[in-house]
Structure 1
Amino acid sequence: MSDNTVLLEKVGATAVITLNRPHRRNALDASIKAAMTDIVSAVREDWSVSAVVLTGAGGNAGGNFCAGADLGDGGADAERGFYVRDLLLDHHGWFAELTDLEKPVISAVDGFATGAGLSVALAADFIIASDRARLVSSFARVGFIPDLSLMYVLPRRVGLVRAKEIVFSAREIRGEEAVAIGLAEAVVPADRLRDAAIEFAQRFEKAPTHVLGMAKRIMNRTFETDRHALLQLEAAVQGLCAVSQYNAEAVRRFFSKEAPLFPGTQRLF
């Protein structure tokens, strides 16, 4: 990991990942790429982690979740077109791993999530925004198309027409509107954001992490998988569930009328 530009801490069974370049508004650079590659891998392999919170440093001081790519980061000696292409592909490595991480991921967004920073927020399963959050597809302002999978994820979140409006206008979307259009799931006061996100993540502590993870991986492909292929995936994964220790204990408790391992949680939103 490079210069502590991404921090990882454990709060119980929740991993908290913090982008930590507040002096650059947590913009993505080579050091974040290297750190996120290591950290996402570590979280994936840590069986004691049941959920993940992703946030940005400096939030309680009015900072930003992520200002997108650091446009002043390197590339001076490279041919610009190839440099930009390679930079994106490098970041897609850890980003894809985060998107498909087989654990619930919650983005806690305070301040600005702009450009690729909005993409990073949308890599999570759920977004909790502060009351001063600003979500912006700012690419058009600097003559770029959306990247880091935004054109894939955004229409699936808010619908194609609304996604076009967000991209074409390059406008700021605040918390309450973000919830209304499906871009975020909840808005909380800024000084409660971290705690609210962790409390949300802790609801999954007794859940069957591998079961939720496999269901997530399949649902992430719902819109490009035909029904037959999805049913085959469903059947194969259900077979794995049926021979798991978790399933055996859960079924035993069910028939013995004992308290369940995971009683479910209250409505998430």
Structure 2
Amino acid sequence: MTILQSVSSPIEMSVEDGIATLTLNRPEARNAFSDQMRSLLIERLEEIAADSSIRALIITGAGKGFCAGGDIKGMEKRMSAPAGEVAFNGWTRQQRVHHAVSLLINLPKPTIAAVNGAATGLGCDLALSCDFVVSSEQASFAMSYIARGLIPDGGGLYVLPRRVGLTRAKELIFTGRTVQPEEGLAIGMVDRVVAHEDLLSEASQWARELSAGSSTALGLSKSILNNSFELTQAQVLAMGSQAQGICYTSSEHQASVAAFLAAKAKRG
């Protein structure tokens, strides 16, 4: 495994066999998100998107928690700002959060959240913004924003109803209640539940399976699927036609067809 970030970084990055792993690394704070972590997450996601040798991404947490949401110290700092600056400062921070979430949702590679512990607030949003969620038996999920008088601001308003349906999303957001792994699996919030000690190995194996095909076809398919609920049938078909035209010219498609024809000729 190649470690690309030092162990002292609040977000560690490693790459093994084309699978990148980002580890949220503030275990003493249950990996609550600081401003520094937002900036680092943006940098790492941009790096992963641009690196063709990386085929998939796993996000997990160090220690007992996956991510406890926004950092309380950051909240204190925001509230202590002069009244005339609170709104604009908050808006500025939100732009950074939304940039990071958009990069994650639209990363042209399969993404998996390997949830090792509690994923609350922004942590829950972060997990659900991945394509797939693998949960440890020791994990839990909560859209806990309501307890702080807030709304989900890390993508949850977009991704949660797409996973569990509108009515159930409202219930989870309005109550902020905790969802255990088996319920999460039953309602579509979680895709797999595994033994805690097997979490990263199971996530890595699934990431290899998901990313084994053409990276061109994967990236283009994901870009259309992510928007398919907002598009008409005609728009999806049109985007598919354009994407297929790109696939026709890809080295993966040409090599696959050549190999198929060679095998057919050999069989006679």
Structure 2 length as normaliser, TM-score?
0.90
Counterpart position of 2:232: 226
Q: Any idea what SS the aligned residue of 1:72 has? A: helix
Matched, 1:16 2:21: yes
Instruction: Please list the CA deviations of residues 118-164 of structure 1 after superposition, one character each: whole Å capped at 9, or x if unmatched.
Output: 11001110000000111001011111112112111111110011111
Counterpart position of 2:11: 6
Matched, 1:28 2:29: no
* C-alpha distance in structure 2 between counterparts of 1:231 and 1:223, whole Å: 13
Superposed counterparts of 1:207-222, under 5 Å? 207-222=213-228
Does the 8 Å CA contact 2:68/2:122 hold for their aligned counterparts? yes
* C-alpha distance in structure 2 between counterparts of 1:105 and 1:9, whole Å: 15
Residue identity matched to 1:67: A
Q: Any idea what SS the aligned residue of 1:15 has? A: strand
* C-alpha distance in structure 2 between counterparts of 1:182 and 1:153, whole Å: 12
Counterpart position of 1:138: 144
Counterpart position of 1:267: none
Residue identity matched to 1:100: N
Q: Quote the offset at 1:81 in angstroms.
A: 2.7
Residue identity matched to 1:53: I
Counterpart position of 1:64: 65
Q: Any idea what SS the aligned residue of 2:72 has? A: coil
Instruction: Please list the CA deviations of residues 18-69 of structure 1 after superposition, one character each: whole Å capped at 9, or x if unmatched.
Output: 11111111111111111111100111111111111111111xxxx1111111
Superposed counterparts of 1:112-261, under 5 Å? 112-257=118-263
Q: Quote the offset at 1:84 in angstroms.
A: 2.2
Does the 8 Å CA contact 1:119/1:149 hold for their aligned counterparts? yes
Counterpart position of 2:105: 99
Counterpart position of 1:265: none
* C-alpha distance in structure 1 between counterparts of 2:210 and 2:258, whole Å: 21
Matched, 1:77 2:74: no
Q: Any idea what SS the aligned residue of 1:223 has? A: coil
Does the 8 Å CA contact 1:107/1:121 hold for their aligned counterparts? yes
Counterpart position of 1:266: none
Instruction: Please list the CA deviations of residues 185-213 of structure 1 after superposition, one character each: whole Å capped at 9, or x if unmatched.
Output: 01011111111111111114531112111
* C-alpha distance in structure 1 between counterparts of 2:31 and 2:38, whole Å: 12
Q: Give percent identity, aligned residues only.
A: 34
* C-alpha distance in structure 2 between counterparts of 1:85 and 1:66, whole Å: 22
Residue identity matched to 2:73: G
* C-alpha distance in structure 2 between counterparts of 1:191 and 1:158, whole Å: 27
* C-alpha distance in structure 1 between counterparts of 2:154 and 2:86, whole Å: 18
Q: Quote the offset at 1:115 in angstroms.
A: 0.6
Instruction: Please list the CA deviations of residues 198-249 of structure 1 after superposition, one character each: whole Å capped at 9, or x if unmatched.
Output: 1111114531112111100110001111222222211111000001111011
Does the 8 Å CA contact 2:119/2:127 hold for their aligned counterparts? yes
| Cα root mean square deviation, aligned | 1.6
In the comparison of the two structures, how many residue pairs are matched?
Answer: 254
* C-alpha distance in structure 2 between counterparts of 1:53 and 1:166, whole Å: 25
* C-alpha distance in structure 1 between counterparts of 2:121 and 2:207, whole Å: 26
* C-alpha distance in structure 2 between counterparts of 1:28 and 1:69, whole Å: 5
* C-alpha distance in structure 2 between counterparts of 1:33 and 1:13, whole Å: 24
Structure 1: gaps of 5 or more residues:
259-269
Matched, 1:109 2:133: no
Does the 8 Å CA contact 1:13/1:205 hold for their aligned counterparts? no
**Greater helix fraction, Structure 1 or Structure 2:** 2
Q: Any idea what SS the aligned residue of 1:8 has? A: strand
